[in-house]
Structure 1
Amino acid sequence: MSDLNIKKVYFPNLNGLRFIAALLVIIHHIEQFKKIFGLENIYDQVPFVQIIGKLGVVLFFVLSGFLITYLLLIEEEVTSKIDVKKFYLRRLLRIWPLYYLIVVISFFVLPYISFLEVAPYTKQLFTSYNIKLLLFLFFLPNLALVLFSLVPFASQSWSVGVEEQFYLLWPLLMKNSKNKLRLLLGVILVYFFLNLELQFL
């Protein structure tokens, strides 16, 4: 298998799972925004609607983690190494342009258009504005949302931040690990214990 073929690895049967994940997130956000804008909604009446958005995002994360891990394993099998620099370059070209476009528009354009004001979140954007902007610029939107209020039109990028943080660490761990199964089990155990610890806080 050549390097060209590695880049063309594609699982068409996963499109159905992507559709389900996207549909869950869309339903969740439609009802959530109807609630924010004071429209009739079922966001609070049907707890399932609140849960399906999170489930959809988790499904996206699982698919992304599977595909990235698979590609890294195939690359190592074919070339006997993992080229982390090329991996980073591919992620940069694929994600950064659109991500930074959203950040720029959300921080410097949309908040100044009165028609698009999302009360009270638009005004809250300007509280700790510089810190929020820095966190978004350094791919830490998930941290910004935990520490501060929502950022209108850019809050959805928290999941992109999580993926970028994963992309930053996972190839390095994969490259420097001789036992991939042990690495995977170790990550699962760390996640399990951290999650268990958070439940008791």
Structure 2
Amino acid sequence: MQYRPEIDGLRAVAVGLVLLYHAGFGFLGRNDWFAAADIGVDIFFVISGYLITTIILKEMRETGAFSFRNFYERRARRILPALFFVILVSFPVALYILSSSELTAFLDSILYIVFFISNYFFYQQGVQIGAESLSIEPFLHTWSLAIEEQFYLIFPVILLLSARYSPKFTLSLFFTLFFLSLLFADFNTYRRSEFNYFMLISRFWELLAGAILAFLENEYGKIRHQFLNGVMPVVGMSMILWFLLLFDPGPAHPSLTTLVPVVGTALVIAFASREDLVGVILGSRPLVALGLISYSLYLWHFPVFAYFDRTQPAPTNLDKIGWVVLSIILATLSYFLIEQPFRNRRLITAKPFFLSIATVAIVIVGLSFLGEPGKISELTAILD
């Protein structure tokens, strides 16, 4: 697919909002200025739904078929090396910084992370929603990766079955699933807020928003209209900014109000280009550079923030800026040393890639069993 720098810029906006949300910067006696910045995750979901669907439809259009093997290899190369690297690097730090109970929870969580069901784990643990959860679990943020991977397992099957047996109703099916998921999320927003926050069924509609847009573009082409291409990206970014400044979603997320940033994101993707103001800003070098490392930055920022939050009981804004800078440095290194090499099929072919990933996965699973009763005390004694 043709490279669109404005989408990388939109990724930068998303990860920037997530960092603001988790850092909890305080100004004028308030620490909740960015209470709605968690919508950065929702922006990521829309982008992911759009890109994945575009890739699938492009392959089907050009080859007349779809390779699950190639699809999941690409996803594995994109997600696993950097994720596993961050876990391995975090492990010795966790041994020295976390308390016995926290270390047990950490070791339990990495097992669920490997199998992409950490969202279920954190829900079962009763983790509360909010930036204050930073001090609970260094890998809490992987719940969103679990949701995306679960979507990648389910959605291609739905799309291919629909394309084969009822192609005329594929779009109708998408819209039906979109509204059912949205209504489910809104219905449960106060009834089961933690379940609603962490589970795919309540987030499916956000990913489908991007998928629907990709499907429409595949059928009818990208919208080319001078007025709309100039105005709608501004409208979309204004919707995101309006939600960010005026809403404090709290437990009411995701819900019908989350339509505002989700639709805003879809409008930016649908109409922005290198020829309009929003597209030019999002496509600028600093934002594109940040967008390129956004995945590694998302992975690194939470454990960095969580570990420093434990060692600095009353961190200042300057301390938190240092956390952000360190996260960006680590993300940049991960991008060039881990992400890029492992995504290069010529540099690392399929067999050594899967062999190395399987080996590291076994190591991480083995480490997770150190959290069994009695093992933590043994580890503590060894460290002492």
TM-score when normalising by structure 2: 0.42
Measured in 1, the distance between the counterparts of 2:70 and 2:58 equals: 15
Query: What is the identity, as a one-letter code, of the residue corresponding to 1:165?
Result: Q
Partners of 2:122 and 2:140 within 8 A in 1? yes
Q: Match for residue 144 of structure 1?
A: 121
Match of residue 157 from structure 1:
142
Q: CA 1:19–1:137 in structure 2 vs 1: closer, same or farther (change >3 Å)?
A: closer
* Aligned mates of 1:167, 1:174 — CA distance in 2: 11
Larger Rg over CA atoms: 2
Counterpart for residue 167 of structure 1: 152
Inter-CA distance 45–129: structure 2 relative to 1 (3 Å threshold) = closer
Amino acid of the residue matched to residue 113 of structure 1? Y
| CA gap 1:157/1:129 in 2 versus in 1, 3 angstroms | closer
Give yes or no for contact 1:25–1:56 (8 Å, CA) kept in 2. Answer: yes
Tell me how far 1:144 sits from its aligned partner: 2.0
For residues 60 and 129 of structure 1, what CA distance do their matches in structure 2 show?
25
**Could you tell me how far apart the structure 2 residues matched to 1:44 and 1:187 are?**
43
Q: Give the whole-Å Cα distance in 2 for the aligned partners of 1:18 and 1:83.
A: 27
Unaligned runs of at least 5 residues, structure 2? 128-135, 192-384
Partner amino acid for 2:59?
Answer: E
SS of residue paired to 1:125: helix
Q: Does 1:194 align with 2:184?
A: yes
**1:186 CA displacement:** 2.3
**Distance in 1 separating the partners of 2:33 and 2:174:** 31
Percent identity over the alignment is 28
Is 1:58 equivalent to 2:42 in the alignment?
yes
4+ long deviations beyond 3 Å: 126-131
CA gap 1:21/1:103 in 2 versus in 1, 3 angstroms: same
The answer (yes or no) to whether the contact 2:60–2:66 under 8 Å persists in 1 is: yes
Distance in 1, matches of 2:81 and 2:23, equals 26
1:181 counterpart residue number: 171
Aligned pairs, how many?
177
Which ranges of structure 1 fall in alignment gaps of 5 or more residues? 1-7, 35-40
Q: Which structure has the higher relative contact order (CA within 8 Å, separation 6+)?
A: 2
Please, which of 111, 120, 127 is the counterpart of residue 94 of structure 2?
Answer: 111
Q: 1:16 aligned to 5, 9, 12, which one?
A: 9
Residue identity matched to 1:26:
L
The alignment's C-alpha RMSD in Å is 2.5
CA 1:24 to 1:128, structure 2 compared with 1: closer, same or farther past 3 Å?
closer
Match of 2:211 in 1: none
